Amino acid sequence: MLGAAAYRLDRRHRRVALDNLRRAFPEKPEAELRVLARRSFVLLGRNLAELLRMPAFLGPGWENSFAVEGKEHLLEALDRGKGIIFVLAHFGNWEYLALMPRLLSFRGGAVVQKIKNPAIDGLLRDMREAAGLDLFSKREVAGQIADYLARNGAVAILADQRARRMAVEVEFFRRPAPTTAAPAVLALRTSAALIPVFIYPAERGKYRVVFEPEIAIPRGTHFKKAVREITAGFTAVFERRVRENPELWFWVHRRWGK
């Protein structure tokens, strides 16, 4: 209900969502785009409600609330002992992916950015710490993250929003989109596996979590070219998933700028 109300009342973000949807799906009629935008707002409301119920969710038997696909990609990467960089999109209830290290018994952390709203920032920090994540500031020294990966840790990075620093332009929905180069740079410097992960809303009491195959890491290629290829690779995976279920993505961010 909160999400639906926000769609009606928050004209600024509704306009951003619709502008983004028109760019991404120029072939779709306006009425369909408005339905998708409203559904995306409803999902955000649902995500907030699920975050607020996290203490109750982590009661006995919480592990049975997840169905995991592609676990073999995770295990293969852990066996190599070089660490894992999970690249995440604002898709489904992405914050519940913080529970994957606890569920699947590996050491996990996340690169986080301080949110302007102190209440939301505190809520997210509490939830991530309750899940057992090691948290790294976005401004953290890269060497500390590299050391964590060298000890076969797994670090999650949200990599689907417009980047202003350390960015490369790659295509997203047939448009140039400034995208963070951080996952690619870390992968090249540490030899960690780069794995996209997605989570889908609960159906019949289970969240579906999908570990994608590793993104190919070019070898013997100029560093900048390799960074661009890797970034384009995981962005293409993001686009494929968003095209399949556009209502599950975070459309209220100006992904391509104004």
Q: Where are the domains of the chain?
A: 58-246
Q: What is the pTM of this model?
A: 0.93
**Mean pLDDT, 10 residues at a time, the chain of 258 residues:** 91 96 97 97 93 85 96 97 97 94 92 74 76 75 86 95 91 97 95 98 94 94 95 98 98 91
What is the structure's pLDDT at 141?
A: 63
* The pair of three-digit structure tokens given for residue 38, joined into one six-digit string: 């409203």
Within the chain, strands assigned E span: 66-69, 84-88, 108-112, 134-137, 154-158, 167-172, 175-180, 193-203, 206-211
Dihedral sign, Cα of residue 88, residue 155, residue 167, residue 218 = negative
